[in-house]
Amino acid sequence: MSDGTKAATFEVKRWQTYVPCKTEYLRGESRSKPFVVDVVEGDRVKVWDPTGGQRMGGHRWIALRNLHETGTTKTGKERRTGFRLHCQPPVDPVRQELCGSCFTWAARDQLAISARGFGHSTCIPCMADIEINS
């Protein structure tokens, strides 16, 4: 028996962020954008996309089974559908803000632009990218 190192159970939690498993595969499909978990209810998840819908982003429901811990399957194959975990919830929601560019929770002193509300802030590394590319 070699199952002594049981992996921690994967759990979908509020404020985790997810990104599409295979961006290229789903390119052009409006649903394949990163999102933040808002509510987990049974086998479905209400997610929030700061870039979707109206100015303050859009909510939508997706099936829980579409959310995966990693971008690869148990057999090591690359997932083509669904979403993979990108960032765990903030340790300290008061001191951390979600960067809307890389979907990572960053400490406030790591933000180039700090805005109220998820996903409207920009972290320093992303800001540097924006400046280089503009």
The DSSP call for residue 68 is: E
Closest to 110 (Cα-Cα) out of 100, 97, 129 = 97
d(CA 28, CA 56): 22
Quick one: which segment of 16-24, 64-72, 83-91, 96-104 binds Zn ion (CB under 5 A)?
A: 96-104
- Choosing from 36, 45, 67, 99, the residue that interacts with Zn ion (CB under 5 A) is 99
d(CA 70, CA 4): 21
The pair phi, psi for residue 88, each rounded to 5°, is -75, 165
Whichever of 83 and 105 has its CB closer to Zn ion, that residue is 105
Q: What is the largest CA-CA distance in the chain?
A: 56
Least distance from Zn ion to the Cβ atom of residue 87, Å: 10
- Choosing from 12, 40, 102, 112, the residue that interacts with Zn ion (CB under 5 A) is 102
Quick one: which segment of 13-21, 51-59, 66-74, 94-102 binds Zn ion (CB under 5 A)?
A: 94-102
Q: Residues in the site for Zn ion, rule: CB under 5 A?
A: 99, 101-102, 123, 126
